[in-house]
Amino acid sequence: MGQRIHHAHYDVVVVGGGASGIAAAAAAARNGSRTLIIEAGPILGGELLSGMSLDGVLNARGEYVVGGISDELFAECRRMDGFIGPIHDHRLICYVCVDPEVMKIAVARVLARYGVTPWLYSFVEDVVADDGTVHSLAVVNKRGRTIVTADQFIDCSGDGDVAAQAGAPFEVSDRTGQLQPISLMFRMSNVQTGSLLKFAQAHPDSLAVGESDYIRGRHTDQELVDKLVEQGQPSLFFKSEGPFLGDAIRRGDLAPTALIMIQPTSARRKEVCVNATRVGGDIDGTDTRKLSATVATLMEQAWQTSVFLKGHLPGFEQADFAGLAPRVGVRETRRIMGDHVLSKDDVVSGRKYPESVVAKGAQHVDIHQSGTTQIRIPIANGGSYDIPFGCLLPKGLRNVLVAGRCLSASREGMGTARTMGPCLAMGQAAGTAAAMTRAAGLAEVRQLPMADLHGRLREQGAVLDGVH
């Protein structure tokens, strides 16, 4: 006998519990909508919990270009002594570092504050839609099958699952057919910052610094490394062209990678996050079998890198392997085509769209490739770019928004907007717009006056202007 089919209704349903999803759910609920967030995994937060820094929250000038829900998350981290704060990489960007274990609690607190209903271990199996309107989702979990209806749906799945199944056009990769490699973050504790920074200061040719004209200026590598050291944080980027990492790859001590990125996660535990692993081969992150097959390799790379760091990098002699990110990191799958396509020129020129902006980004165009290669293109003048509302509005759909790395963008545009800062900002904009559309009784989200949306976003802390 089959299981009974259940039914549920919410004002707004968010699919995906990563950075964009939690921001969308919190914003929708904060603005008066009964909100459900559906996540296939066991915990909410996505890459916020990986240990990786939050890129794109600040521009290279150190100006915050994302606010609102992100501010609330940071405030919770501060209360629990888990906020390290802004760090300048003196390479391309500034970023914010937090303790990922504390961030787990911060995410739960913010969502609980606004009364968001979470469904974990739940997967969207099917989408029922016609004539551009999504009527319901079929959600599967151990309880069985639930038909979930809503006025507005927000696709924060990363892969554009809902929008694509509902009929929205999408792109994958570009004419090259390439896809960015899969990675897995890991953490090491008991790292001695003083010894690490002393080594860095003595080996500037091994570090990635000054990769934008704005940051480079007339500084030498040594001067920029000195600035890194002055910050007093264990935050360094070892480049594959430099002797430290390059020689290790040539000796076979490490798998080929473009950078070893080391960033702080906890001063108390003397802990850092390490970003060094990668499995290339143009793996489609929506192919469960191929994605699952990368896990063992990534774990071995993480362990290999930790052993190498302990044996070769001062400051890591007594370090301990402290943990893996809770999930594999996927950089690129579907991009849902919307009313506006965020282009390479939009982002690298720092283009502003004052009439339609709903979020900002400041991360360089960042397209990882197999082996030791990686495309990195800075934003002009150390500034930021605007993400127009049209990037969140899938073509042909009336009551669906997208946010996160499945936004409407070119491959280069997605290569910067996929980072956590703009994902949080897009999520807040999508959640706010969905709630306001429902409250106003509008037939579709495109009817929402931009002036009203701008006013609400600014009132609730979003950054729409006033920065480079």
- Residues 187-196 have a mean pLDDT of 98
Residue 1 pLDDT? 45
Q: Residue 181 gets which letter from DSSP?
A: P
What is the radius of gyration, based on Cα positions, of the chain? Answer: 21
* Span(s) in the chain for CATH 3.50.50.60: 5-175+332-362+386-459
Which pLDDT band, with edges at 50, 70 and 90, does 59 fall under?
very high
CATH topology for the 5-175+332-362+386-459 domain: FAD/NAD(P)-binding domain (3.50.50)
List, for residues 114-147, the tens digit of each pLDDT value: 999 999 999 999 999 999 999 999 999 999 999 9
Token output for 230: 């002055």
Residue 265 pLDDT? 98
Task: Please list, in sequence order, all residues whose beta carbon lies within 8 angstroms of the beta carbon of residue 449, skipping any fewer than 6 positions away.
Answer: none
Which pLDDT band, with edges at 50, 70 and 90, does 2 fall under?
low
- Residues 422-438 have a mean pLDDT of 98
List, for residues 320-355, the tens digit of each pLDDT value: 999 999 999 999 999 999 999 999 999 999 999 999
Strands (E), 44-122: 54-55, 83-88, 94-98, 117-119
- Residues 40-64 have a mean pLDDT of 97
Phi/psi zone of residue 269: left (φ > 0), alpha (ψ -120 to 50 degrees), beta? alpha
Q: What is the C-alpha separation between 65 and 159, in angstroms, rounded?
A: 25
Q: Which of 58, 64, 18, 60 is nearest to 37 (CA)?
A: 18
Phi/psi zone of residue 270: left (φ > 0), alpha (ψ -120 to 50 degrees), beta? left
Which pLDDT band, with edges at 50, 70 and 90, does 317 fall under?
very high
- Residues 366-382 have a mean pLDDT of 94
Which pLDDT band, with edges at 50, 70 and 90, does 222 fall under?
very high
- Residues 2-21 have a mean pLDDT of 94
Residue 166 reports pLDDT greater than 70: yes
How many of the other CB atoms lie within 10 Å of CB of 366? 21
Q: What is the C-alpha separation between 238 and 12, in angstroms, rounded?
A: 44
Beta carbons of 138 and 126 less than 8 angstroms apart: yes
Q: What is the C-alpha separation between 255 and 269, in angstroms, rounded?
A: 28
Task: Please list, in sequence order, all residues whose beta carbon lies within 8 angstroms of the beta carbon of residue 415, skipping any fewer than 6 positions away.
Answer: 180, 332, 365, 366, 367, 375
Token output for 159: 């892969």
- Residues 400-405 have a mean pLDDT of 98
Residue 13 pLDDT? 98
Mean pLDDT score across all residues of the chain: 97
